[in-house]
Chains A and B, each alone.
Chain A
Amino acid sequence: MPQIITEQNLRNLIDLLVKEAKLVVGPKLSGSVVLYEPLTAGSDLTLDALPRRSSKELFFPICEDILSYKRENGAMKVNDVDRSKFPEAVLIGAPPCDAGSPAILDAVMSWDYKDEFYLERRRKSTIVGIACTKGDDACFCRAVGLAPDAEAGSDLFLTPLKDGSYACNAVTEKGQALVAAHQNLFSEGAGAEPKPFVDQAVAKLNLVKIKKWLEEHFEDPLWEKIADICVGCGACAFICPACHCFDINDEGSTDDGVRRKHWDACGFAKFTNHASGHNPRDVQNKRYRNRIMHKFKYYDDKFGKTLCTGCGRCIRACPVGIDIAEILETINSKQD
């Protein structure tokens, strides 16, 4: 029997979770933009717009300390970050293109060496996804195999209904536990009809075919053409739910400071620059090629997944209008 939660009760749920001292993160109006931020009350939740940044930052912060060092009485001491202090978190109101990203990133963060900063946050968080009834002409989640109602990655999945309430499906045990702990906010019933989804402009892509083309066309005139205008900023990578590249830097003096891990982008000219001055990806189109290859070939080679959820953020944000969906369509339509 599906569970139903009214919008008011959803907001009440947030209030309760905040009271339980959980870190509740959801879309919230911050200045003039909607971002995933800690909600302090149910009324903070804004479900009108796709947040500018993806929800990956709950697991993979923009910038976080990974250790601190201090010289004490002449002896250097390195201190680990106490990851047990990471809060129990609930991500609420993430559409499938955001909720689905941890399911993709888990692979790279846990193969062989395990990034406990990411994984600990993952273990401590519950993801409440929500079916997407908005979307614009930049959206292409269907094209990369997701859908506005895809439950992948969500622990509890909400489907907006026409009467303003939500049908809930507890996808995982974490989701069930969340419902069970607040059972009085949910009611059983068939509920109203779901709100309709928005059509997407990009047709479903044949990702296998795209990957094959990428495999055979490391050198191709296409790369020169599409990245010709790329100005080399990191906007696409930083707001992407799936981009996971990072940099590690020390900040502080030689006696006292922290080492930080923070977002980095393959579009930056210095990303792969050797100290000697040699740069394997010395021009912008090689860097852009790496972006596409990483998402649609390399990641699949390594982990069997596509590193893209079709959220369309990079399309909306690109200063020069580079459209990854258009590039994929171009590749998809190639004959050989």
Chain B
Amino acid sequence: MNAKANKNQVTCIEPDYYQAITEAIRKEAVKILKDETVVGVVGYLPGRRKGTASPALVTTVEEAEKLIFSPACVNNLSVYLTKAKKGVLKQGKVGIVAKGCDMRALAGLMTESQLQREDLFIIGVVCPGVYGFGVERTGTLTEANIARKCRECTVHMPEGADVAAGTHAELADLTPEEAQEMARIEAMPQAERWAFWKEHFSRCIRCMACRQVCPFCYCEQCLCDKNRPQAVESSPRPAGNMAWHLVRAMHLAGRCGGCAECERVCPMDIPLNLLNRRMAQELKELYDFEAGLTPVDKGPLNEYKENDDQSFIK
């Protein structure tokens, strides 16, 4: 699919490119706020530190004129529609700035009846990629500072958005680091795989950032909170950590949109998206399901076919 887009492949994406998206977002946000299509727009505002941005809900034209899009706009804003901004949705339609990967989350949430399409005005971003963690934030996106998930992005175009900001461009010849890492892990002997994950999970401090930024973790009561009975040990020790991350991966199987926010926010750098990716891969192989940009009737684990594979069952 990307082969077609070769003419748009460049070695670096200049700040001008993001500036153009910024202008387009501002124009659209101002318009929909002015004509009262929406009660607010969830977008990005610049942060204090150079090359940073943070999510914001803007409700006035003045604020909307400050919205930006830059490689620092890493957040998946759809999380706000199921968590903090739930209340906003009750007041009316909300505008949301969404990259392709974020739109998969929106589609998934619509599949699960958490959102209605008509409640949203989606300002899609034709996104060439965003920064990885701890990289140099120069304003220009290059192979050196692009996020790992963006290296294999298949959703540069936010199809199905109400408007799209930006023109297609992507970095050329990106190595698929995550796919390579997947292959590396899969090729490991089983004991080594266990050791790999054990080491990662042991570092977990259960800050729950992975859960809190996940658009799909909208349960009111989480399995890893204190429960009766307690299925997952709630204290941050290796045993409970392992159980927590496995349970989380399982709960996201067939739902995760692959925005990799869990991995990005992990203060301990646990490669959580690998788990999600493994599950996605399995569901693709078994049931031909892929998280897409349009809502579906049911997720792969909420439906079944009578002739599903059962070679593993005696």
Residues of chain A having any CB pair with chain B under 8 Å: 30-33, 35, 52-53, 62-63, 137-138, 201, 228-235, 237-239, 249, 251, 260, 262-263, 265, 268, 270, 284, 315, 317, 319-323, 325-326, 329
Known A30-B203, A265-B207; judge A249-B226 contact (CB<8 A).
Answer: yes
> Are B235 and A238 in contact (CB-based, < 8 A)?
no
19 more A-B contacts (CB under 8 A) besides A53-B268, A228-B57, A235-B267? A30-B203, A31-B203, A63-B235, A137-B50, A229-B54, A229-B84, A231-B79, A231-B83, A234-B208, A238-B206, A238-B207, A238-B267, A239-B207, A251-B234, A319-B212, A321-B54, A321-B55, A321-B75, A323-B52
Which chain B residues (15-50) contact chain A, with CB distance < 8 Å?
47-50
A-side contacts of B54, CB under 8 Å: 229, 320-323
- Bound-state CA distance A321–B265 (Å) is 10
Residues of A within 8 A of B48 (CB): 201, 323, 325-326, 329
Inter-chain CA distance A259–B55, complex, in Å, is 39
Residues facing A in B64-103 (CB within 8 A) are 75, 79-80, 83-84
Do the beta carbons of B52 and A321 come within 8 Å of each other?
Answer: yes
Q: Are B269 and A31 in contact (CB under 8 A)?
A: yes
Q: Distance (Å) between the CB of B121 and the closest chain A CB?
A: 19
Question: B225 → chain A, closest Cβ, in Å?
Answer: 6
Q: Which of B56, B83, B207 has the most CB of A within 10 A?
A: B207
Q: Does B146 contact A (CB under 8 A)?
A: no
Given the complex of chains A and B, what is the CA–CA distance between A325 and B48 in angstroms? 9
User: Which residues of chain A come closer than 8 Å to B84, judged between CB atoms?
Assistant: 228-232, 284
- Residues on A with beta carbons closer than 8 Å to the beta carbon of B52: 321, 323
**A52 CA / B233 CA spacing, docked (Å):** 24
How far, in Å, is A52 (CB) from chain B's closest CB?
6
- A263: contacting residue among B49, B75, B236, B268, CB under 8 A: B236
Within 8 A of A (CB), among B208-241: 208-209, 211-213, 225-226, 233-237
Interface residue from B208, B226, B269 paired with A32 (Cβ < 8 Å): B269
> In the assembled complex, which residues on chain B have CB atoms less than 8 Å from the CB atom of A325?
48
Q: Give the docked Cα–Cα distance between A325 and B200 (Å).
A: 31
Q: Given A229-B56, A249-B235, check contact A319 B265 (CB 8 Å).
A: yes
User: Contacts A234-B207, A323-B49: A239 and B235 contacting too (C-beta < 8 A)?
Assistant: no
Complex alpha-carbon distance, A53 and B226, angstroms: 25
How many residues of chain B are within 8 Å of chain A by beta carbon?
39
Question: A137-B50, A228-B57, A321-B52 known; A233 and B235 CB under 8 Å?
Answer: no
B310 → chain A closest CB, angstroms? 36
| Other-chain residue from A33, A231, A270 in contact with B213 (beta carbon distance below 8 A) | A231
- A137 surroundings in chain B (CB, below 8 A): 49-50
CA distance A268 to B212 in the complex (A): 10
A83 to chain B, nearest CB (A): 19
Asked if B61 is an interface residue, CB under 8 A from chain A, the answer is: no
20 A-B Cβ contacts within 8 A? A31-B269, A53-B268, A63-B235, A137-B49, A229-B80, A231-B83, A231-B209, A233-B208, A233-B212, A235-B267, A238-B267, A249-B226, A251-B234, A265-B207, A270-B226, A319-B265, A321-B53, A321-B54, A323-B47, A323-B49
Partner of B235, one of A232, A262, A323: A262
How many Å from the CB of B307 to the closest CB on chain A?
A: 42
Does the CB pair A201–B49 fall under 8 Å? Answer: yes
Contact call A62/B225, Cβ cutoff below 8 A: no
Establish whether residues A138 and B49, one from each chain, have CB atoms under 8 Å apart when the complex forms.
yes
Quote the shortest CB–CB distance from B139 to chain A (angstroms): 14
Residue B186 CB within 8 A of the other chain:
no
Q: Which of A62, A230, A249, A320 is B234 in contact with, Cβ under 8 Å?
A: A249
Assembly CA distance A30 to B202 (angstroms): 11
Nearest-neighbour CB distance to chain B for A142, whole angstroms, equals 16
A228: nearest chain-B partner, CB-CB: B57
A88 → B minimal CB distance (Å): 24
Which residue of the partner chain B has the closest CB to A265? B207
Take A32-B269, A230-B84, A234-B208 as given contacts and tell me if A320 and B55 are in contact as well, using a CB distance cutoff of 8 Å.
yes
Whether A233 lies near B205 (C-beta < 8 A) is no
Instruction: Give chain B residues whose Cβ lies under 8 Å from the Cβ of A229.
Output: 54-57, 80, 84
A294 to B48: give the CA distance in the assembly, Å. 23
What CA separation (Å) do A228 and B54 show in the bound complex?
11
Residues of the A chain whose Cβ atoms lie less than 8 Å from the Cβ of B207: 233-235, 237-239, 265
Q: Given the complex of chains A and B, what is the CA–CA distance between A320 and B53 in angstroms?
A: 8
Known contacts being A228-B57, A233-B211, A270-B225, is A31 close to B200, with CB within 8 Å?
A: yes
A289 to B112 alpha-carbon distance, docked (Å): 33
State the CA gap A260–B240 with chains docked (Å). 13
Task: Give the docked Cα–Cα distance between A262 and B199 (Å).
Answer: 20
Q: Which 6 residue pairs of A and B lie closest in terms of their CB atoms, listed nearest first?
A: A321-B54, A319-B265, A233-B212, A233-B209, A326-B48, A234-B207
B170 contacts partner chain A, Cβ-Cβ < 8 Å? no
A184 to B33, CA, bound (A): 72
Chain B residues whose C-beta falls within 8 Å of the C-beta of A322 in the assembled complex: 54
Q: Which residue of A lies closest to B271 (CB)?
A: A32
A317 touches B225 (CB 8 A): no
B236→A235 contact, CB < 8 A: no
